[in-house]
Structures are given as structure tokens and as C-alpha cells.
Amino acid sequence: MEQKSVVSGQLSEEKTSEQVKLPASRKVYVETNGSTVNQNKHNLRIPFREIALSPSKEMDGSVVENAPVRVYDTSGVWTDPATKCDVREGYRHCVATGSSDAAMSRNMRAARSCRRTMAI
């Protein structure tokens, strides 16, 4: 589907999560050891992006392999190859439960409450 970009004014093509690739990296999860669990008593899975590094050349000309680097991945399910996402559908759990409006209103109430507390 083609649509005009608000920023550039040029035509661009929408892409699904399956079409967006991040080269030389992969999504990995680190699972907690049971000391931290969610409300359903499951271990938490922390998302990371593991980035492959190219080898380094030393002063003597030898080549040294570098271990991959892990960085915290804030992209959510959008970059998980095991999950198919479409931006037009939204997050399944929000759409199914209609909770996005409720969550937004909770966040707004919390922000107003915080501002009142800070003003005192």
C-alpha cells in the first residue's frame, strides 16, 4: 500500500514487520531466574538485540574476532521474527480488549496527580 509521508511529502510503501530487517543482528530474550515474575507467576523475558561485530585488525596485522554485543531492545513485538505484526491492526491485546483507551486514561490521571503533588 502506498501512502504519502507526512514528514517528507513523498510516496512511500508501508511495510509489515516481516519485511523490516535489521542486518547483522537478531532478537534474543534473557529469562529471569524466578526471582522476578509477572502477575501470572511466569518468569520475565527481557528482549535484547544481539548485534554481530566485524573482526578487528591488530597493529601486527592479525585479525581478532569480536563477540556480539547485546543491547536492550525497546521495539516490542515489531522486530520479533516469530510474531507477524501489521501497524494497521494495532497490538492484538489492545484491540481485543479495547484497553488502549482505558490505559491512556489511567496514565493521564497519574500524570495529573503527579503534577499536583509536585506543585505543592
H/E element, 107: helix 99-119
100 within domain boundaries? yes
What distance in Å separates the CA atoms of residue 81 and residue 33, rounded to the nearest whole number? 24
54 within domain boundaries? yes
11 within domain boundaries? no
pLDDT band at 102 (very low <50, low <70, confident <90, very high): low
Shared domain check, 94 and 67: no
Asked whether the predicted pLDDT for residue 115 surpasses 70, the reply is no
Shared domain check, 94 and 76: no
Asked whether the predicted pLDDT for residue 11 surpasses 70, the reply is no
pTM for the whole structure: 0.53
6 within domain boundaries? no
Are 37 and 43 contacting, i.e. CB atoms less than 8 angstroms apart? yes
Give the count of domains, the chain: 2
Cell of 90: 494495532
What distance in Å separates the CA atoms of residue 13 and residue 50, rounded to the nearest whole number? 28
